[in-house]
Amino acid sequence: MSTQYYTATSLDGFIATEDDSLEWLFPLGAIGDTGYPAFIAQVGALAMGANTYRWMLRNAVHIGQETGSGWPYAQPAWVFSSRALAMVPGTDVRFVSGDVAPVHHEMTRAAAGLNVWIVGGGDLAGQFFDAGLLDEAIVQIGSVTLGTGKPLFPRRVTSPPWRLMSARQIGAGFAELRYRLPHGHGKT
């Protein structure tokens, strides 16, 4: 069981534009050609921040065309927000706020031996890292630059650095890098 930050990013380190658009991402390749199907099959619980959840709600139609449902996940999902957000009927979504550690404990229990996925954004992944709870990052680096946007991982981690475990090319659109993360570093 591992806690994983799995995400796509631009070459210059942004996971979305400033206004939360992912339009730059979809033309880069089909999700079925990436490691995603094998990855999601091993996920037992997932967490995301409020803006990522809002993106899901706004793009329910698009997601539905890809997956057959307005909400793409069968796994229980924890959404971090300090505000009340709309619920998608028929889904297992739990709204939480504050310290990630007790939520991670619940997620691990629900995952029952499968992996825990931190969907994003980057600061939420950073909060799990700060708490010493993030084991791996799996980053699909798209062959585009955005200039500005929502950061991949707004933390300074230099010593020890992340440990590169594998790198593979996915067409001309992506390089997938898998890293093991150092633990016990606290916020910098």
Ligand X SMILES: NC(=O)c1ccc[n+]([C@@H]2O[C@H](COP(=O)([O-])OP(=O)(O)OC[C@H]3O[C@@H](n4cnc5c(N)ncnc54)[C@H](OP(=O)(O)O)[C@@H]3O)[C@@H](O)[C@H]2O)c1
Q: Which residues contact ligand X (rule: CB under 6 A)?
A: 7-8, 15-16, 20, 22, 25, 48-52, 55, 80-83, 97-98, 119-124, 127, 150
Query: Whose Cβ is closer to ligand X: residue 16's or residue 134's?
Result: 16
**To which H or E segment does residue 137 belong?**
strand 136-142
Query: Whose Cβ is closer to ligand X: residue 83's or residue 156's?
Result: 83
Query: Whose Cβ is closer to ligand X: residue 150's or residue 178's?
Result: 150
Query: Whose Cβ is closer to ligand X: residue 12's or residue 160's?
Result: 12
Q: Residue 6 in contact with residue 125, Cβ under 8 Å?
A: no
Query: Whose Cβ is closer to ligand X: residue 160's or residue 167's?
Result: 167
Beta pairing class for 136-142 and 3-10:
parallel
The CB-of-160 to ligand X minimum distance in angstroms stands at 25
The CB-of-48 to ligand X minimum distance in angstroms stands at 6
Identity (one letter) of the amino acid at 176? E
Minimal CB distance to ligand X: which residue?
49
- Please state, in angstroms and as integers, the Cα–Cα distance from residue 4 to each residue in 24, 50, 134, 152, following that order: 24, 19, 6, 14
**To which H or E segment does residue 130 belong?**
helix 122-130
The CB-of-59 to ligand X minimum distance in angstroms stands at 8
List, in sequence order, every residue forming a beta bridge with 139; answer none if it has no partner.
7, 177
Identity (one letter) of the amino acid at 188? T
The CB-of-98 to ligand X minimum distance in angstroms stands at 5
The CB-of-179 to ligand X minimum distance in angstroms stands at 16
Q: Count other Cβ atoms within 10 Å, centred on residue 85.
A: 13
